[in-house]
Amino acid sequence: MSSRQSTVDSRQSIDGRSVDIAEALSRRVVIENVRPAVDGGRFPIKRTVGESVHVVADIFGDGHDVVAAVLRHGNDEIPMTLVSPGLDEWAASFDVGEPGWHEYRIVAWVDRFETWRRDLRIKAAAGRDVSVELLEGSILLRDAAARANSDWLLQRSDMLTGSTAIDRRVTLALADEVADAMARRADRSRATMSPARRVWVDRARARFGAWYETFPRSAGADPRRSGTFREASADLARIADLGFDVVYLPPIHPIGSSFRKGRNNALAAGPDDPGSVWAIGSEAGGHTAVEPGLGTIDDFVAYREEVERLGMEVALDLAWQCSPDHPWVKAHPEWFRHRPDGTIKYAENPPKKYQDIYPFDFESEDWRGLWQALLEVTLFWIDRGVGIFRVDNPHTKTFGFWEWMIDQVHARHPEVIFLSEAFTRPKVMRYLAKAGFTQSYTYFTWRNSKSELTEYFTELTRTEVREYLRPNLFANTPDILHAYLQHGGRPAFEARLLLAATLGASYGVYSGFEICESRAAAPGSEEYADSEKYQFKKRDWKQPGNLSELICRVNRARHQHRALQSNDTLRFLDCDNPHIIAFSKESADETIVSIVNLDPHHIQHGFVDVPAAPDSFAVRDLLDEVAYTWHRGRNYVRFDPDIRQGHLLWLPKPRV
């Protein structure tokens, strides 16, 4: 037996399936380049409930026979359409329902009946004798009748070979009702089936939401002690009135005292310094305990319930690290890295040192025990009503751990959302998104010029990245106060708010943004002076110049206008001034145009081009309810930083 024969007669594993190679080689249709797909199907694409998946593939067969294809999603089959005949490109779409795993695949085959029907039509139109062709058609109908046990098809088969005039039989053969019946009973015995592609479906909050980061310990009346969850609850109505959807809390766990950091990251802490909330663990407990100054687990649950009563959700920080006082340091020293002298290594990001934090060793001999313990921590907080987690520095932990842990959580709770706080290299950020993170922090904070913003958001929304990475645009964080905000005053905060809230369906701010906190720890630093990471911070939310009203208007527009609730339709518009950026988003019944002055110091003006619209049309600014008449083509805008930094224009689509 030849080597070729040996190959043909064998079975092989393809895409995890045992395949008869001879049978596979006998199939005449090829399915290639199925998209969307992430890394050839290694990772799933992502959607939220109610969104659609538009599938495109290259499908072709040998010779000139007609090819048919369907897109299979669950128990549904959607006929695929040949959209580019010369390129053999086919397409179809399906909508996704409940959160969790979905699969789709393509089935394609040579359609012998449609091939015969096409040729019969051509020959009959040319006046040729088609009696033999009608006999062939009768056999095809009879075969289908046998497959489907259909008397109706059997009767049509007999009619094709009856004594009726040929033109009558041709008309019967070409009838749409016969074609429809045969399509439902197509011979797929040699159909080609593509490998299954996975879709992970999240709830709607994964796609759309405004986040507000707050430290509950700063909510107390006495600046010398921690605020409690009960006291922090009093501030929730204000946050809800601003229009936020998610209240994100940094770690709420007991804080260690060993090597506790003082104000402004000082190495020595004073007697009243609370320490960093990221130095987790003390004699009061670890990752499943609450810092005593905040209250108890029951107090946290009551706080979460009040958040939900006001129409918001709590997001909790997952920080996989310990203070030297964490119970796990004594119980599981093998979970940490050790120096040659036997001491545990503290965290470093040279030249920064974090003596109050011990990172885990995800390559320790007991890595399985560590992984399981961290999963149990996550499930503990889910059991207490937490459905969203912001994950601290996931890029410093093993990729495989995240893929495993998120999959384990989603197997039990598909509604849970994970936000990756990984400010690192692009490919690392993307891989974490592929590995399962629902949302990702981005480089938005450092993209401030028109060209930077346009290039970056084109990448996020118009390339394959959009299939798996959902951006969450934080305008500031406790760690990041960009120079643009430090030196731009209130106009800079206005501009960044408008950009974050309209470029992204998900965005966030850290408390203090609404009162334009902008004092840095030192020149050239992005650290806040008197950082809340190391001390309690008291604020006057009503101080002059605050952004509360603007934030309310922006978030109200986001909730009322579906166009702002996704990123799929983002398009940048031409503007002749490099300091003014313009872009649009659409839904079925409206277009929203955002125009922002990126210069916080000077008056800027120019012309914005609206390419597709009626000759003239009315727009309404959602920021102040002022109406304007605009025209297709160039429209003049002018921004004075002392007055306003942008427009948010609503354009309803004409009813057809």
Q: 334-385: per-residue pLDDT in tens?
A: 999 999 999 999 998 888 888 999 999 999 999 999 999 999 999 999 999 9
> Could you list the residue range(s) of the whole structural domain that residue 600 is in?
571-652
**Same domain as 596, residue 551:** no
Nearest to 390 by CA among 126, 233, 209, 555: 209
In a domain, 566, yes or no: no
Q: Mind listing the pLDDT tens digit for each residue in 395-440?
A: 999 999 999 999 999 999 999 999 999 999 999 999 999 999 999 9
| 80 and 219 fall within a common domain | no
Cα(75)–Cα(72) distance, integer angstroms: 7
Instruction: Note the pLDDT tens digit of each residue in 442-461.
Output: 999 999 999 999 999 999 99
Q: Taking residues 23-30, what's their average pLDDT? A: 81
pLDDT reported for residue 3: 46
Residues 184 and 227 in one domain: no
What share of the chain has pLDDT > 70, as a percent? 96
How far apart CA 286 and CA 232 sit, in angstroms, is: 22
133, 231, 313, 421: the active-site residue:
421
Q: Is the same domain home to 261 and 341?
A: yes
Q: Output the pLDDT for position 611.
A: 81
Q: Decide: 129 and 120 in contact? Cβ < 8 Å.
A: no
pLDDT confidence band for 284 (50 / 70 / 90): very high
Cα(354)–Cα(271) distance, rounded to whole angstroms? 19
> 């960093």: which residue's tokens?
276
Q: Are 67 and 111 in contact (CB under 8 A)?
A: yes
Query: Is 317 known to be catalytic?
Result: no
Q: What contacts 164, CB < 8 A, 6 or more positions away?
A: none
Instruction: Convert the pLDDT of each residue in 508-534 to its tens digit.
Output: 999 999 999 999 999 999 999 999 999
> According to the model, what pLDDT value does residue 537 have?
95
What's the whole-number mean pLDDT along residues 259-269?
Answer: 93
Residue 420 forms beta bridges with which residues? Answer: 391, 440
- The yes-or-no answer on residue 392 being catalytic is yes
Give yes or no: residues 217 and 177 share one domain. no
Residue 247: which pLDDT band, with cuts at 50, 70 and 90?
A: very high
Q: What are the C-alpha distances in Å from 133 to residues 141, 170, 265?
A: 12, 10, 88
**Residue after which a domain boundary falls, among 560, 585, 611:** 560
Q: Is 157 helix (H, G, I), strand (E, B) or coil?
A: helix
Which DSSP symbol is given to 615? S
Asked if residue 514 and residue 367 are part of one domain, the reply reads yes
Q: Which two tokens stand for residue 632?
A: 């297709």
3-state secondary structure of 195: coil
- Write down the catalytic residue from 392, 467, 517, 532: 392
Average pLDDT over residues 169-183: 94
Indicate the DSSP class of residue 512. T
Is position 484 within any domain? Answer: yes
Last residue of a domain, one of 500, 533, 560: 560
- Taking 60 as the threshold, does the pLDDT of residue 656 lie above it? no
- Check if the beta carbon of residue 226 is closer than 8 Å to that of residue 274: yes
Tell whether 587 is covered by a domain.
yes
- Cα dihedral sign, 294-296-300-305: negative
The average confidence (pLDDT) of the chain is 94
Identify the pLDDT of residue 221: 86
176-184 helix and 131-148 helix, angle to the nearest 10 degrees = 40
Q: Give the pLDDT of residue 21.
A: 66
Domain boundary among 201, 220, 237: 201
Split into its structural domains, the chain has a count of 3
338 and 234 in a single domain? The answer is yes
pLDDT of residue 22: 66
Cβ atoms of 523 and 631 within 8 Å: the answer is no
CB 500 within 8 Å of CB 475: yes
User: pLDDT band at 2, cuts 50/70/90?
Assistant: very low
Max CA pair span of the chain: 107
Q: Pick 25 or 557 by higher pLDDT.
A: 557
